[in-house]
């Protein structure tokens, strides 16, 4: 027996698998606490109830996207098309609202369109057998182009107040976007941890050939991940146009990168088979808190970008160094 | 052979992987100009040793000496510079490139200061190297137009080009005809006469005895003997390879007359498997023997729904079935324990329990949610039944030894109520203790009424486990043999293309 496996054997309790995962989340949480502590010292007004809610609200959009992204990454894929999916769904949903379609129907239509965009991605990946990166790179351009063509490049202005009220409201002082995303996170957590789909996603991403032999419905599993991702991109878009009062066809530019960053900081492996919902939420909040804090400190945008890049790299290096190879 | 410095010396070479010791303290020497056979069952450590020699792996302890100097390899490419060439069982050539391009792959001849590949120069030198062994091969021909035997010669010529002083051949004859083997034997003998040291890995005793000077025999990662091949008995070598544990267990049969699975004229859309007909009874263990590449694994994949069927019919309990995916086969009670556990068997990061539950999740799901406690209970029962060690169902499966991973896969199918169990090389890469455990387990499953097919390259294993043995050859059934008094020779005679015909025409 090698010393390596021996060490693991001694450490391994019946909770071994559970504990290692929770450990990773604890690591992300420590990262968040450190960042909060640093800004608490450097940026006046950073730690106030108002600003903390602000951070959560600013992070909620990215978190919503990143939750879907995490499921896709766990399945061994990637979804680069979330931003344009959001934009397409936003402009269609916005136009429907302007033409007098009832609010719930317009929201549903937008969400359905997002899910359809995801379905198309999923079919190309799982049925046609193209690589996820290339498929979603292609649909990234395609969906964006459709949004631009449909609107002629102009924003859809004048989203009705009844719609905006839903996303600008608050329950017990908590802004509704935070509540919506919290509910989404709970559902995503249940999917990954408690449902057959979650097991299948982890299996397909962990070893597709073995999952196939074990009877996992590979194509359906992958498609489900992309549909969820597209749906959540559309949900993110409906929150955003509710807050802005306009649906721009260029909305969501580079969103995919923030979403991937949040997933990765939270412990998702781009190789597939691994990822954490709690970690992704914390990852999104880390990115949001960074930006908020730097803005409060009046740091220039260029340096904010630099800081974001560095935090991703540092998070990945820490992840690598603490993971070991047992 | 020990008076001078040996061409190659392994000194205390040990290699550990998480959970398994693949090599322990391997020491032996190969002289210049010697053809040294490396023998052992699958999983004995031969391939690991070759990978260390070729720079693909680094030993945990010990060293490799070439001409008395320690060989330190960080990358496979450095092995080539050190005069070591490797000829793999699966030839590693780029199909659409020419013979010459393949021979110079990775170290092209260039002109104009490295800007342009000197194709003419490459072909000239390739032709010169080929001329020493087989001038009929055109260096400008695409490699895919060559027969396997010719492609092997190209690999050997490439080794000559690199001025290799050590050539390791891993199962070079697994897909050669007898006359092609004769030619290979000549070439190898010539190379050795010219001072090249050959390490020759093969399962085929006859070949090894014809071609080799000495043999090192390995079992379970350790050297168990070294023999000069002249004047030694084949049986002695085989018993060294196999050890005694396996052959002593008598075979017990639990076969009934009830036909569980019936195949008629099965053919595959994606492999060479064709026209396979057989019956598998309840409680029966059916062995399938044959050379690597004879279509054994592909037949199992066909039955398990992993490959598409192009011809024939399959019936379970008398009812015709068609599987478009393993999922459908699993629903019909068929479970496959694949040969390459790492690639096709396990989800490495997931727990033993998760791996076990994967095909049967529906059973533990209510209201869309997995009832973990129910799954845990089922997993615990079945993992206890297969004697998982250490008994840690929540531990990631990759941290278990190969034998215990295999037990987990078997438990998976028991939890899914699979009545037909297909084993592809059930004990490959598994150490000897776990091996006999797996054998006993397969026997127990048969006694409990499961119908079992075992594909194995280890003939003693096939004979030990099976009630009947089917021999495959080039994608077809060559023979059906009863296991009573069955010998390895009888199986081999049917497995080798042209072999049976040749011996009858000579006698």
**Percent of chain A residues past pLDDT 70, beyond the cut:** 92
Chain B nearest-CA residue for A274: B349
| Strand order across the B309-316 sheet | B276-281, B259-268, B309-316, B319-321
Q: Are residues B238 and B286 in the same domain?
A: no
**pLDDT band for position A178 (cuts 50, 70, 90):** very high
DSSP A125: I
Residues B87 and B184 occupy one common structural domain: yes
The set of residues, in sequence order, having a beta carbon less than 8 Å from that of A53 and lying 6+ positions away, is A173, A174, A175, A178
Asked whether the predicted pLDDT for residue A16 surpasses 90, the reply is: no
* Cβ-based contacts of B331 with chain A (< 8 Å): 215
- Mean pLDDT for A75-84 is 97
> What's the maximum distance between 2 C-alpha atoms anywhere in chain A?
71
Chain A: closest CA distance from residue B22 (Å): 10
pLDDT at position A137: 97
- The domain limits of chain A are 60-323
Q: What is the mean pLDDT of residues B343-367?
A: 95
Task: Say if residues B430 and B462 touch (Cβ distance below 8 Å).
Answer: no
- Average per-residue pLDDT in chain A? 91
Question: Within this chain, do residues B150 and B53 fall inside the same structural domain, yes or no?
Answer: yes
- Please enumerate in sequence order all residues whose Cβ is within 8 A of that of B323, keeping only pairs 6 or more positions apart, or say none: B304, B305, B309, B314, B329, B332, B334
Mean pLDDT of A28-37: 94
- Burial of A123 by CB count in 10 Å (0-12 exposed, 13-18 middle, 19+ buried)? middle
- The answer to whether residue B213 sits within a structural domain is yes
Which class for B11: exposed (0-12), middle (13-18), buried (19 or more C-beta within 10 A)? middle
Q: Is the pLDDT of residue B18 over 50?
A: yes
* pLDDT (mean) for B217-243: 84
Helix/strand/coil for B451: strand
Per residue in B175-225, pLDDT (tens digit) is 677 777 888 888 899 999 999 999 998 877 778 888 999 999 998 889 999
Range scoring the smallest mean pLDDT among A178-192, A222-236, B197-211, B383-397: B197-211
ipTM of the complex: 0.87
Binned at pLDDT 50, 70 and 90, residue A190 comes out as very high
pLDDT at A5: 35
pLDDT at B16: 87
Does B304 sit within 8 Å of A202, measured CB to CB? Answer: no
- pLDDT band for B269, please (50, 70, 90 cuts): confident
Helix A82-98 vs helix A218-244: crossing angle, to nearest 10: 50
pLDDT band at B433 (very low <50, low <70, confident <90, very high): low
In angstroms, the CA B12 to CA B28 distance is 9
Give dist(CA A90, CA A236) in Å, integer: 9
B65 to chain A, minimum CA–CA distance in Å? 25
CA distance A270 to A77: 8
| B42 found inside a domain | yes
| 3-class secondary structure, A47 | coil
Residues in chain A, total = 326
Q: Are A272 and A222 in contact (CB under 8 A)?
A: no
Look at residue A1 in the predicted model and tell me its pLDDT: 33
pLDDT for B249 equals: 66
Chain A residues within 8 A of B361 when measuring between CB atoms: 196, 199-200
In Å, what is the CA distance from B466 to each residue of A125, B285, B299, B418, B463? 43, 5, 17, 19, 6
Whether the predicted pLDDT of B358 surpasses 50: yes
Rounded mean pLDDT, A292-320? 89
What the block records as the tokens of A275 is 């990822």
Q: How far is A58 from chain B (nearest CA, A)?
A: 32
Matching CATH number, A60-323, of 2.60.40, 3.40.50, 1.10.3470, 2.40.160: 1.10.3470
Q: DSSP letter string over B159-202?
A: HHHTT-SEEEEESTTTT--HHHHHHHHHHHHHHHHTT-EEEEE-
Q: Give the percent of chain A with pLDDT over 90.
A: 82
Mean pLDDT of A192-216: 97
Residues B110 and B156 in one domain: yes
Q: How far apart are CA B56 and CA B50, in angstroms?
A: 9
φ, ψ of residue B260 in degrees (nearest 5): -95, -45
d(CA A99, CA A93): 10
Q: Based on the domain organization, do B113 and B91 belong to the same domain? A: yes
Please give the residue range of the domain that contains residue B17. Answer: 8-243
Residue B3 lies in a domain: no
CATH of the domain at B134: 3.40.50.300
The pLDDT score that the predictor gives to residue B365 is 94
Least confident of B119-123, B143-147, B303-307, B501-505: B501-505
Using only C-alpha atoms, chain A has a radius of gyration, in whole angstroms, of 20
B498 lies in the same domain as B376: no
With a cut of 80, say whether residue B341 has pLDDT above it. yes
pLDDT for residue B175 = 63
* Residue A11 pLDDT class (50, 70, 90 cuts): very low
Task: Report percent pLDDT > 70 for chain B.
Answer: 93
pLDDT at B469 over 80: yes
DSSP alpha helix (H) spans, B243-387: 245-248, 296-303, 326-331, 352-357, 372-385
Subunit contact B18:A4, Cβ cutoff 8 A = yes
Please give the helix or strand (H or E) that residue B11 lies within, else none: strand B8-17
Task: Look at residues B183, B180, B100, B99 and name the one whose alpha carbon lies nearest to residue B145.
Answer: B99
Average pLDDT score over residue span A140-154:
97
Chain-centroid distance of CA B93 in Å reads 19
Are residues B376 and B270 both part of a single domain?
no
Interface probe, candidates B399, B404, B412, B421, chain A, greatest A C-beta count within 10 A: B399
Most confident of A114-128, B73-87, B236-250, B281-295: A114-128
Q: What are phi and psi of B243, to 5 degrees?
A: 80, 175
> Whole-model pTM?
0.76
Contact B365 A2 (CB under 8 A): no
A interface with B, Cβ–Cβ < 8 A, is 1-2, 4-5, 8-9, 12-18, 20, 190, 194-196, 199-200, 202-203, 206-207, 209-217, 273-274, 326
The reported pLDDT for the residue numbered B255 is: 93
Same domain, B389 and B309: no
Could you list the beta-strand ranges (E) of A156-284.
156-157, 170-171, 174-175, 246-247
Q: Which of B243, B266, B293 represents a domain boundary (last residue)?
A: B243
- Which pLDDT belongs to residue B244? 57
- Do B470 and B493 lie in one domain? The reply is yes
In the DSSP assignment, the letter for residue B362 is: G
pLDDT in tens, B63-96: 999 998 898 888 777 888 889 998 887 677 888 8
Task: Considering only the beta carbons, identify the residue of A5, A213, A214 that sits closest to B399.
Answer: A5
Element (H, E) at A86: helix A82-98
Neighbours of A323 (CB within 10 A): 14
Cα–Cα dist B365/B359, whole Å: 12
Other CB atoms within 10 Å distance of the CB of residue A120 = 21
Mean pLDDT over A206-235 rounds to 97
Half-sphere exposure at residue A49, Cβ-oriented, CA atoms within 13 angstroms: 3
B160 and B298 inside one domain = no
Tell me the mean pLDDT in the region A216-241.
97
- If you average pLDDT over every residue of chain B, what do you get? 87
Residue B228: phi and psi, rounded to 5, are -75, 135
Residues B226 and B253 in one domain: no
Confidence band for B56, pLDDT divided at 50, 70 and 90: confident
The pLDDT assigned to A21 comes to 54
Closest-CA distance, B406 to chain A, in angstroms, reads 13
Higher-scoring residue by pLDDT: A316, B377: B377
Residues B40 and B123 grouped into a single domain: yes
Contact between A242 and A167 under an 8 Å Cβ cutoff? The reply is yes
Residue B211 lies in a domain: yes
Query: What pLDDT is attached to residue B505?
Result: 34
Mean pLDDT along residues B337-350:
92
């Amino acid at each position: 027996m090698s010393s390596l496996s021996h060490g693991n054997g001694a450490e391994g309790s019946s909770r071994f698998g559970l504990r290692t995962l929770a450990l990773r989340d604890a690591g992300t949480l420590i990262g968040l606490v450190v960042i909060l502590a640093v800004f608490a010292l450097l940026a006046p007004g950073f730690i106030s109830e108002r600003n903390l809610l602000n951070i959560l609200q600013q992070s909620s959009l990215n978190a919503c996207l990143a939750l879907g992204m995490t499921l896709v990454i766990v399945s061994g894929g990637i979804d680069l098309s979330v931003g344009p999916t959001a934009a397409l769904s936003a402009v269609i949903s916005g136009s429907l609202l302007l033409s007098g379609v009832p609010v719930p129907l317009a929201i549903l239509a937008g969400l359905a369109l997002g899910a359809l965009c995801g379905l198309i991605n999923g079919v190309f990946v799982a049925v046609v057998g193209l690589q996820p990166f290339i498929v979603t790179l292609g649909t990234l351009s395609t969906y964006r182009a459709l949004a631009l063509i449909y609107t002629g490049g102009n924003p859809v202005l004048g989203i009705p107040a009844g719609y905006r009220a839903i996303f600008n409201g608050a329950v017990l002082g908590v802004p509704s976007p935070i509540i919506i995303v919290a509910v989404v996170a709970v559902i995503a957590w249940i999917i990954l941890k408690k449902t057959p789909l979650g097991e299948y996603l982890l299996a397909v991403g962990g070893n597709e050939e073995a999952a196939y032999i074990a009877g996992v419905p590979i194509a359906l599993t992958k498609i489900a991940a992309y549909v969820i991702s597209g749906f959540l991109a559309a949900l993110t878009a409906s929150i955003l146009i509710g807050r802005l009062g306009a649906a721009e066809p260029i909305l969501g530019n580079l969103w995919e990168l923030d979403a991937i960053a949040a997933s990765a900081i939270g412990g998702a492996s781009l190789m597939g088979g691994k990822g954490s919902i709690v970690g992704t939420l914390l990852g999104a909040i880390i990115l949001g808190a960074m930006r908020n804090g730097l803005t409060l400190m009046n740091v220039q945008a260029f340096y904010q970008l630099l800081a974001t890049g560095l935090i991703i790299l540092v998070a990945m290096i820490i992840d690598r160094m603490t993971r070991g190879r047992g | 052979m020990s008076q001078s410095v040996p061409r190659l010396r392994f000194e205390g070479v040990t290699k550990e992987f998480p959970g398994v010791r693949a090599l322990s303290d391997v020491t032996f020497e190969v002289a210049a100009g010697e053809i040294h056979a490396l023998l052992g069952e699958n999983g004995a450590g031969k391939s690991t040793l070759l990978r260390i020699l070729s720079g693909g792996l680094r030993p945990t302890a010990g060293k490799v000496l070439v001409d008395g100097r320690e060989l330190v390899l960080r990358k496979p490419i450095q092995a080539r510079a050190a005069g070591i060439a490797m000829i793999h069982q699966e030839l590693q050539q780029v199909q659409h490139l020419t013979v010459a391009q393949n021979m110079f792959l990775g170290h092209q001849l260039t002109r104009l200061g490295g800007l342009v590949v000197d194709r003419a120069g490459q072909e000239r030198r390739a032709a010169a190297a080929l001329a020493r062994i087989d001038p009929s091969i055109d260096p400008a021909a695409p490699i895919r137009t060559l027969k396997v035997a010719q492609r092997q010669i190209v690999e050997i010529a490439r080794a000559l080009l690199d001025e290799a002083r050590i050539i390791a051949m891993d199962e070079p004859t697994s897909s050669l005809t007898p006359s092609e083997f004769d030619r290979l034997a000549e070439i190898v003998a010539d190379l050795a006469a010219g001072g090249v040291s050959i390490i020759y890995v093969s399962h085929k005793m006859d070949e090894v005895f014809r071609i080799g000077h000495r043999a090192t025999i390995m079992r379970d990662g350790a050297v168990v003997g070294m023999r000069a091949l002249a004047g030694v008995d084949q049986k002695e070598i085989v018993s060294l390879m196999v050890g005694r544990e396996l052959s002593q267990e008598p075979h017990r049969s639990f076969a009934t007359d009830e036909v569980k699975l019936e195949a008629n004229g099965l053919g595959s859309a994606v492999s060479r498997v064709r026209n396979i007909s057989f019956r598998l009874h309840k409680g029966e263990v059916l062995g399938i023997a044959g050379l690597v590449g004879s279509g054994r694994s592909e037949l199992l994949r066909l039955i398990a729904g992993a490959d598409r069927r192009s011809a024939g019919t399959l019936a379970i309990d008398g009812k015709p079935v068609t599987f478009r995916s393993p999922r459908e086969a699993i629903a019909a009670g068929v479970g496959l324990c694949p040969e390459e556990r790492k690639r096709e068997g396990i989800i490495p990061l997931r727990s033993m329990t998760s791996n076990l539950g994967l095909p049967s999740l529906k059973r533990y799901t209510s209201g869309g949610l997995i009832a973990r406690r129910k799954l845990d209970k089922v997993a615990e029962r079945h993992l206890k039944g297969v004697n998982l060690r250490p008994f840690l169902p929540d531990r990631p499966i990759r941290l278990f030894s190969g034998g215990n991973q295999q037990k987990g896969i078997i438990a998976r199918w028991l939890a899914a109520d699979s009545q037909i169990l297909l084993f592809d090389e059930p004990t490959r890469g598994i150490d000897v203790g776990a091996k006999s455990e797996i054998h006993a387990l397969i026997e127990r499953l048969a006694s409990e009424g499961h119908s079992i097919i075992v594909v194995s390259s280890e003939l003693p294993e096939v004979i030990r486990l099976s009630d009947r043995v089917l021999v495959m050859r080039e994608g077809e059934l060559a023979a059906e043999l009863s296991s009573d008094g069955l010998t390895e020779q009888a199986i081999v005679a049917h497995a080798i293309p042209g072999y049976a015909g040749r011996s009858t025409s000579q006698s």
